[in-house]
Structure 1
Amino acid sequence: MAKKRLSIVDIAEKLNISKTSVSFIMNGRAQEKRISPELVERVMKHVKEVGYKPNSLAKSLRTGKSNIIGLIVEDISDPFFGAIARLIEDKAYKNGYKIIYCSTYNDTQKTKEMIDMFRDRHVDGYIIVPPEGIEDEIKQLQDDNMPVIMFDRYLPLIDTDYVIVNNQFSAYNATQHLIGQGYKNIALISFFTNQTQMLDRIKGYKMALKENNLKPCIKELPYTQNTKSLVEPVTSFLKSKKNVDAILFGTNRDATTGLKVMSSLGIRIPEDIAVVTFDDSDAYELHTPQITTIAQPVEEIAESVISTLLAKLKDVDKNIKNQSIILHTELIIRGSSTAKSGKA
């Protein structure tokens, strides 16, 4: 039989005192309520002996504060989101908060359910990587005076704090780099989505091509957790586009699949096709050749996100205005995008 969880009532009955006195002592209000030091010592000694731990949910209902932050990301197993989550969790803990996190896989319905679950847990604030279609849920949180910070992307119709990178310029800069290296038929392979970060990356890619009188060649992939299902469409695209001499991958996940397909087809990098991808990874330095990447400032993103949220949590009077924080990426040039053969 499971051991019964001790309550304040159990402690009061055992010590033959009122449960109100026990509650005041456990909540640090003994001096305020003029409870004798002797009784405080007696209660705390018993609490230590029996290993009593207050019910955190009940405490949050009494105090209106749980010291828990809800973190909702696209995929916690993704190196980018995993690294940011770890850094956020570390700083939150140092400031007295714990993190509960979940992955949504860009599923709108699941995201709504996770927001409801966190609301039931009385979290103090939300950090969200938003999929499309959750505007009403975010608006409701704001109406309830709950601080909400978004990162990686934002919802254009919602006025809230967010932390992103300069996606449009980053894609533009990477495409210009490839053009400068002599590549003229540059493809973009990325997941199909109307999320702001991907729309901006497409804009930057197209802008660079237009400035150089080059035509875009975009392969849109469905978002899926089953990356094996992406092999066929990427393979078909590469076989049908024989003139493509460079590829910009929109995300780390796209690149992982793309590099495997290129290897299986015997496509040499960069002799046959040059490669640049968003999101840096240790694996790209181990690849032969090493892969040129658009590195997002993971530590700076995490610091901006958690610092903004902590400031909002301390802002009882709600005087702090929402911030749009846009950070810079770094184009790390490696062997996968060296100058095209024949270029002086």
Structure 2
Amino acid sequence: MKKLSIVDIANSLNISKTTVSFILNGRAREKRISDEMIERVLKYVNEVGYKPNTLAKSLRTGKSHTIGLLVQDISNHFFAAIARQIEDRAYKNGYKIIYSSTDNDTRKTKELIALFRDQHVDGYIIVPPLGIEADIEDLIADGFPVVLFDRYLPGVETDHVLVDNLFSTYNATRLLIDKGYEHIAFISYESTQTQMEHRKQGYRKAIEESKLKPNILEVDFYKEEKLIIEEIRSFILNNKNIDAVLFGNNYLGTCGLKVFRSSGIKIPDDIALISFDDLEVFELYTPEITAIAQPVEAIAEEVITILLNRLNNVPKDDSKQQVTLATELKIRKSTR
């Protein structure tokens, strides 16, 4: 069955396509089109089940009223929670969200950005892997607003929303030191992304200030979970003096919990534990797990506010907004 166009509707009703267009785009009152004509067109549209071609509309108006959202993994609790709130706020402002997972893969991210360009999205919210600097700069040069979050790309001037990763892990490590732990390990990803680098720097800063010895395990992000678990297990069993562990994110934290439970290691009697990123399961676990909680609502609010302002040309100048938010160290029973 052929999809109806505005021209088809105009021909069927024997009126101009311009009149139909004004009515369907909400400009009938502005153009002084009669109530009778409006009712006639809308009744016909309802009867035939006409749906406008959004791509064609975007080409006419220059706006698709869609936003492209690229995160590392939409199934991850942190990214899913932020995406949900961004979607709600965007919808209330007349925008819909198209989102996808990049899997932290540079090539996939480039392909998705190209796909979103083809979909004529109005703006981009991106959790960027390394290697897409040129793609981001091209978007900005072409007039598209881009807001990065969770991390940024050094050398690329754009709006971004972060948390204070360095202070967060510094503060968590200081908590362990102040409680008397002396052999504190840091388990994270082998990564040069800004958020992971800053978390490692915060740990090192606290350890070095206290004249303790750093002990760091960095695992391959792309390894299967069972291989990551085995690598953590080997590290813990080969470093029997470890009395506390700080995990670089909640996925690694849950891997660590699986290692401790299967190895008979008691928390916090044998090893204390803190994880970056809070999870509901950390409160339900016995004992409850101390965690660095990121302000999900505040991140989402800052990100979508900046993007909507850009889409509405606020502020008028091109000064970049670079927001850094505080985290909360939720102290529970895994740190004695």
Partner of 2:172: 174
The one-character-per-residue Cα deviations of 1:304-344 (angstroms, maximum 9, x if unpaired) are 11111111111178425211100001111111111xxxxxx
Q: Secondary structure at the match of 1:189?
A: strand
Could you tell me which of 7, 10, 25 is aligned with 1:9?
7
Counterpart amino acid of residue 244 in structure 1: I
Name the residue aligned to 1:238: 236
Distance 1:4 1:316 in 2: 42
Report the AA paired with residue 200 of structure 1. Answer: H
The aligned residue for residue 187 of structure 1 is 185
Q: How many residue pairs align between the two structures? A: 336
Shifted more, 108-117 versus 24-33: the winner is 24-33
Instruction: Call closer, same or farther: CA 1:302–1:316 in 2, change over 3 Å.
Output: closer
Instruction: Identify the residue that residue 118 of structure 1 maps to in structure 2.
Output: 116
Give, in angstroms, the shift of residue 17 of structure 1: 2.8
Q: C-alpha deviations, 1:126-183, integer Å up to 9, x for none? A: 1000110100000000001100001110011111111101100000000010011111
Among 276, 279, 300, the residue aligned to 1:278 = 276
Question: What corresponds to 1:324 in structure 2?
Answer: 322
**Shift in Å at residue 226 of structure 1?**
2.9
Aligned residue in 1 for 2:259: 261
Matches within 5 A, 1:12-91: 12-30=10-28, 35-91=33-89
CA gap 1:68/1:130 in 2 versus in 1, 3 angstroms: same
Worse-superposed segment, 30-39 or 211-220: 30-39
Give 1:239 shift.
1.4
What SS class does the counterpart of residue 79 from structure 2 fall into? helix
Counterpart for residue 341 of structure 1: none
**How many angstroms does 1:42 deviate by?**
2.1
Look up the equivalent residue of 2:245 and give its one-letter code: I
Cα distance, 1:27 vs structure 2: 2.6
Write out the 4+ residue segments of structure 1 that deviate beyond 6 Å after TM superposition.
none
Q: Is the deviation greater in 219-228 or in 250-259?
A: 219-228
SS across alignment from 1:70? strand
- Per the normalisation by structure 2, the TM-score is 0.96
Which residue matches 2:302? 304
Aligned counterpart, 1:94: 92
Shift of 1:234: 1.1
**Given that residues 309 and 315 in structure 2 are in contact (C-alpha distance below 8 angstroms), is that contact kept between their aligned partners in structure 1?**
no
Q: CA deviation at 1:95?
A: 1.0
Using a 3 Å threshold, how does the CA distance of structure 1 residues 32 and 328 change in structure 2: closer, same or farther? closer
CA distance in structure 2 between the partners assigned to 1:63 and 1:28 by the alignment? 13
Once the two structures are TM-superposed, the CA of residue 231 in structure 1 deviates from its matched residue by 1.6
Secondary structure at the counterpart of residue 6 of structure 1: coil
Q: Structure 1, residues 64-93: CA drift from partner, whole Å, max 9, x if none?
A: 111111110011111111111111111111
What secondary structure does 1:288 align onto?
A: coil
SS in 2 for 1:326: strand
Q: 1:197 aligns with which of 195, 198, 213?
A: 195
Q: In the alignment, residue 132 of structure 1 is paired with which amino acid?
A: L
Shift of 1:33: 5.2
The offset of 1:53, in angstroms, is 1.5
Question: SS of the residue aligned with 2:231?
Answer: helix
Whole-angstrom distance in 1 between the partners of 2:331 and 2:311: 40
Q: Deviations over 1:255-306 (max 9, x none)?
A: 1111101111111111111100101111001111110000111111111111
Unaligned runs of 5+ in 2: none
1:206-243 per-residue CA deviation (whole Å, 9 max, x = no partner) reads 00000010111110011127322212211111111111
Post-superposition Cα deviations, 1:180-200, rounded to whole Å, max 9, x if no partner, equal: 111111110011111100100
What's the secondary structure of 1:9's corresponding residue?
Answer: helix
Identity value in percent: 61
Distance 1:225 1:105 in 2: 12
Shift of residue 26, structure 1, vs aligned partner:
2.3
Q: Alignment partner of 1:175: what SS?
A: helix
C-alpha separation between the residues in 2 aligned to 1:324 and 1:15?
Answer: 53
Name stretches of at least 5 consecutive residues in structure 1 with no aligned partner: 339-344
- The alignment partner of 1:325 has SS state of strand
